[in-house]
């Protein structure tokens, strides 16, 4: 009798353990930052090396905005309801946190693109999600065509004229963030 009770308790414990493991696997699968998401970790303590490269490139080309109208931090565009006011001066730490949040949000938006989510996010951070949604880069990737280098590098113009800094930025972004 005592052996039967011990065996039943053991079976119950194993069943609970199995259910717990299954629950963890399911949560990881549906989580936007889980193991089965885009492959680019964009949240938590340790960001992926690719995400860190994107942060460094954006910081390099955006610079820390101080009293620049509707841009604050590293190019965050102030919009109604986001909790920031135009001309807000952020510390470097605050600006870094805001940049990481913005880029992470963009990665979530494009997570269905898998390993291409980060490169689309970097483009959207600079050009805007509306421009990206209409872009040939977005359309090609959506259709499974990953031959996007020429299209990506073409986003280098300001008011119709090629800008050398944007040209360098796009090349650096593509070389660092496009995962073949």
Mean pLDDT (whole number) for 108-134: 97
| pLDDT of res. 45 | 52
Structure tokens at 107: 């990665």
For 15, what's the count of Cα atoms within 13 Å in the CB-facing half-sphere?
A: 6
pLDDT digit string, tens, across residues 74-106: 999 888 888 888 878 889 999 999 999 999 999
pLDDT digit string, tens, across residues 47-57: 789 999 999 99
> Where are the domains positioned within the chain?
1-30, 40-177
Report which DSSP code applies to 56: H
Q: What is the pTM of this model?
A: 0.73
Q: Mark 81-109 as b/e (b = at least 16 C-beta within 10 Å).
A: eeebeeeeebeeeebbebbbebbbebbbb
Q: Which CATH class is domain 40-177?
A: mainly alpha
| 31 has pLDDT over 70 | no
Structure tokens at 129: 């999600």
Residues 91 and 155 sit within 8 Å (Cβ to Cβ): no
């Amino acid at each position: 009798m005592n052996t039967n009770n011990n065996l039943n308790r053991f079976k119950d414990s194993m069943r609970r353990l199995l259910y717990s493991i299954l629950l963890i696997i399911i949560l990881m699968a549906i989580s936007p930052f889980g193991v089965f998401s885009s492959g680019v970790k964009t949240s938590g303590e340790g960001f992926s090396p690719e995400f860190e490269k994107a942060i460094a490139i954006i910081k390099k080309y955006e610079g820390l905005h101080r009293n620049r109208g509707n841009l604050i931090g590293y190019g965050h565009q102030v919009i109604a309801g986001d909790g920031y006011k135009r001309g807000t001066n952020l510390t470097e730490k605050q600006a870094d946190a805001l940049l990481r949040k913005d880029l992470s949000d963009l990665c979530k938006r494009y997570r269905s693109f898998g390993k291409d989510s980060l490169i689309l996010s970097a483009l959207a951070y600079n050009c805007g999600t509306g421009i990206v949604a209409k872009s040939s880069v977005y359309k090609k990737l959506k259709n499974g065509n990953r031959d996007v280098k020429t299209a990506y590098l073409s986003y280098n113009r300001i008011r119709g004229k090629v800008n050398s800094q944007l040209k360098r930025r796009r090349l650096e972004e593509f070389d660092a963030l496009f995962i073949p």
